[in-house]
């Protein structure tokens, strides 16, 4: 178990940041750490697989690759799955589930492909021991993943269980909440080093602010949850206990102040409760208030990270999503454009701050009358977005910001 092939999937656009995170956590590099499409591949130990589950803020899962073979039809998948030594990973007393994803696969039915893999796993156990494990599609003990390309099939066993964005603290949330992994990706892309203030003026249920506060306190994101590897045969409780206790002992007082505010006091209440569960109630200050009116929470300039209420109806003080030309736009109570007013407020009151805004609107800088100094492609699920950086100066930011808008994409 010291030379496993791992694949850590992540949101599109986050692969480079995830590779940097894996390097910081494991010191792996070179051929042992490769950036792929939609994730990173690495050669690591079982202990490192557990450590990555506990500490990674950007990965969606930690998968162990067990097979990578060519295929043309379903029978090839059955043969490939039957050749894997599943008995080294779990027993007939445990339930399992097979999930299949594909890109340009020639197969007509992924469900049928999954059934063939399931049959192969069950048949191997029956041939080995005379018994077979049960299938549980709702709450399986073990998750098997298959990914099919045009000619190759890769089989993985999952060590995470529930997706890693489920940290265990966000019980209160609003509509269309930002996933914790994407909030962490915004923090990573901004380059925030937890040494200067961070502020989210549209914090909702607090995801960005709480993730940042945990970074400032060096709190491992997985401390509050359980993992799939705890039900796999290689699991050794004493090894995991040592990893967990080391992470617990590494916590510290916050190295920088973190702030969040939202015009909906109901959402602020949610954020406060989430912060308490996340262990950062003392490290993050959460307040009510309209983003168009809130003054800087500190005299020292810092970083703003914002996933604004764009493209959907907004339960804020008179702010609503109005459809115009097939695209939703956010308007204030007086019919003005929310983002142009927000930009004017920032230019007037936030000189020296850096604002990062995640949005699916690629023309947002024009609407805000600001010149972005950087743009980072990032996907929010199936939605293509950009994370724009704006350097705040009084007056016209178009004249002052360096013209490096396309440094992160062609």
Q: Are 378 and 13 in contact (CB under 8 A)?
A: yes
| pLDDT at site 336 | 56
- pLDDT one-digit tens code per residue, 164-215: 999 999 887 666 678 999 999 999 999 998 999 999 999 999 999 999 999 9
Give whole-number Cα distances, 305 to 186, 202, 255, 291, 345, in Å.
7, 9, 18, 12, 16
| pLDDT at site 90 | 98
User: Does residue 317 surpass a pLDDT of 80?
Assistant: no
CATH of residue 26: 3.30.2130.30
Whole-number average pLDDT of the chain? 89
- φ/ψ of residue 374, rounded to 5: -160, 150
Give CA 133 to chain center in angstroms: 32
User: Does residue 220 surpass a pLDDT of 70?
Assistant: yes
243 contact partners, CB below 8 Å, separation of at least 6: 47, 50, 51, 54
Across 343-349, average pLDDT: 95
Q: What is the 3-class SS of 147-188, one letter each residue?
A: EECCCEEEEEEECCCCCCCCCCCCCCCCCCCCCHHHHHHHHH
Residue 235 CB-half CA count within 13 A: 18
Whether 407 maps to a domain, the answer reads no
Q: How would residue 261 be classed by pLDDT, with cut points 50, 70 and 90? A: very high
| pLDDT at site 326 | 28
- Can you say whether residue 334 is alpha, beta or left, with left for phi > 0 and alpha for psi between -120 and 50 degrees? alpha
Helices 15-26 and 46-55, interaxial angle, to 10°? 120
The number of folded domains in the chain is 2
Q: Are 194 and 225 in contact (CB under 8 A)?
A: no
Q: Same structural domain for residues 154 and 201?
A: no
In the chain, % helix, strand, coil (3-state, to 5) comes to 30, 25, 45
Q: List the domain range (segments joined by +) for residue 31.
A: 4-158
| pLDDT at site 402 | 41
Helix (H) or strand (E) holding 65: strand 63-70
- pLDDT one-digit tens code per residue, 269-285: 999 999 999 999 999 99
CATH of residue 299: 3.40.50.150
C-alpha to C-alpha distance for 197 and 26, rounded to whole angstroms: 28
Domain endpoint, select from 128, 158, 188:
158
Domain endpoint, select from 158, 193, 213:
158
Q: How would residue 396 be classed by pLDDT, with cut points 50, 70 and 90? A: very low
| pLDDT at site 176 | 62
């Amino acid at each position: 178990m010291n030379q496993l092939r791992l694949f850590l999937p992540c949101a599109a656009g986050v692969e480079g940041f995830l590779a940097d995170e894996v390097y910081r956590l494991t010191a792996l590099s070179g051929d042992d750490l490769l950036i792929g499409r939609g994730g990173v591949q690495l050669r690591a130990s079982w202990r490192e697989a557990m450590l990555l589950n506990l500490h990674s803020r950007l990965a969606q899962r930690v998968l162990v690759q067990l097979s990578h073979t060519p295929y043309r039809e379903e029978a090839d998948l059955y043969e490939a799955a039957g050749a894997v030594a599943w008995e080294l990973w779990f027993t007939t007393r445990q339930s399992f589930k097979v999930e299949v994803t594909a890109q340009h696969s020639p197969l007509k039915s992924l469900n049928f492909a999954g059934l063939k893999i399931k049959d192969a796993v069950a048949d191997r156990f029956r041939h080995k021991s005379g018994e077979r494990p049960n299938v549980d599609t709702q709450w399986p003990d073990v998750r098997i993943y298959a990914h099919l390309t045009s000619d190759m099939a890769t089989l993985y066993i999952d060590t995470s269980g529930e997706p890693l964005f489920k940290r265990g603290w966000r019980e209160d949330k609003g509509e269309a909440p930002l996933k914790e992994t994407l909030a962490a990706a915004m923090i990573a892309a901004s380059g925030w080093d937890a040494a200067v203030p961070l502020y989210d003026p549209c914090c909702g249920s607090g995801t960005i602010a709480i993730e940042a506060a945990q970074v400032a306190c060096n709190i491992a994101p997985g401390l509050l949850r359980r993992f799939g590897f705890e039900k796999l045969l290689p699991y050794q409780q004493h090894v995991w206990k040592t990893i967990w206790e080391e992470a617990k002992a590494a916590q510290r007082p916050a190295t920088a102040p973190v702030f969040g505010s939202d015009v909906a006091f109901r959402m602020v209440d949610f954020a406060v409760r989430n912060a308490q569960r996340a262990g950062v109630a003392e490290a993050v200050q959460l307040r009510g208030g309209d983003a168009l009116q809130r003054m800087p929470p500190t005299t020292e300039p810092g970083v703003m990270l914002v996933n604004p209420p764009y493209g959907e109806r907004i339960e804020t003080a008179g702010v609503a999503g109005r459809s115009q030309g097939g695209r939703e736009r956010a308007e204030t109570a007086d019919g003005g454009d929310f983002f142009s007013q927000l930009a004017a407020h920032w230019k007037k009151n936030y000189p020296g701050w850096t604002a990062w805004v995640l949005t699916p609107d690629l023309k947002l800088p024009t609407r805000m009358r600001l010149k972005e100094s950087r743009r980072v492609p990032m996907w929010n699920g199936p939605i293509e977005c950009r994370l724009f950086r704006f350097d705040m100066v009084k007056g016209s930011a178009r004249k002052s910001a360096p013209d490096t808008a396309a440094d992160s994409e062609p």
